[in-house]
């Protein structure tokens, strides 16, 4: 089935460690996105990518890094510079052209810093 | 910039009650409008969408009409069920970016 796969679903990290969240899609979408969701809050954009080997910062990029070496993959690294990394992270993808296409979301990854 | 404002929750209803969740937006140009639903511990699923003025999106008994004159896209359902309990997000797309509202939690009691 086509879709977006995020892993791991749950992740625990000690302070000072970097962690990488995986996001893979087989929808042949050009654009991919990472959002952060805090309890009871909406979604905030971390990074997005419209094409391989290119990506742009979103509203809250500090303390995060991404790569887009393949069209299907858009991993997110939460670095030790992120002061409050405990959150629910959502990956999404969409077609690039036009404004009518919706975003397709993965099931999310919940990161907890111990 | 673009923005989406939706009513704060939680909204608590009894089963079979009528639901309205208000959503208004600010955007340049002609955005597409969406409603997403998020069940506990899961990602967001598209519920319905409308791509131009006066379009009505509908799915699973939910409806929303794209009102350009009032810049609104209110979500309605005639008779809610316990299984509709979730968080609902209104969103607009202008270009390649989606802008989300803050979400509205709906709780339906038997």
pLDDT tens digits, residue range A31-83?
999 999 998 788 999 999 999 999 999 999 999 999 999 999 999 999 988 88
A108 contacts on B by Cβ (under 8 Å):
41-43
pLDDT of residue A100 exceeding 80, the answer is: no
Say whether A101 and B102 touch across the interface (CB within 8 A).
no
Least CA distance to B10: which residue of chain A? Answer: A40
Per the document, the length of chain A is: 114
pLDDT for residue A97: 64
Element (H, E) at A4: strand A4-7
The SS3 assignment for B83 reads: helix
A40 contacts on B by Cβ (under 8 Å):
103, 105
- In this prediction, residue A15 has a pLDDT band, given cuts at 50, 70 and 90, of confident
Q: In this structure, are residues B2 and B96 in contact, taking their beta carbons and an 8 Å threshold?
A: no
């Amino acid at each position: 089935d086509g879709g977006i796969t995020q892993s791991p679903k749950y992740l625990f990290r000690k302070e000072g460690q970097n962690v990488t969240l995986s996001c893979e899609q087989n929808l042949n979408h050009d654009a991919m996105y990472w959002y952060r969701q805090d309890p009871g809050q909406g979604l905030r954009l971390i990074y997005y990518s419209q094409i391989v080997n290119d990506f742009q910062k979103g509203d809250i990029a500090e303390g995060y890094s991404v790569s887009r070496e393949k069209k299907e993959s858009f991993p997110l690294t939460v670095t030790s510079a992120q002061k409050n990394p405990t959150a629910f992270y959502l990956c999404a993808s969409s077609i690039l052209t036009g404004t009518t296409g919706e975003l397709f979301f993965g099931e999310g990854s919940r990161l907890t810093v111990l | 910039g673009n923005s989406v404002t939706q009513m704060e929750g939680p909204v608590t209803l009894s089963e079979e009650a009528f639901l309205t969740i208000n959503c208004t937006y600010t955007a340049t140009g002609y955005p597409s409008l969406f409603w997403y639903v998020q069940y506990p511990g899961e990602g967001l699923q598209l519920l319905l969408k409308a791509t131009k003025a006066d379009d009505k999106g509908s799915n699973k008994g939910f409806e929303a009409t794209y009102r350009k004159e009032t810049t609104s896209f209110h979500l309605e359902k005639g008779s809610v069920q316990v299984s509709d309990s979730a968080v609902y997000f209104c969103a607009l797309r202008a270009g390649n970016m989606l802008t989300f509202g803050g979400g509205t939690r709906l709780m339906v009691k038997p």
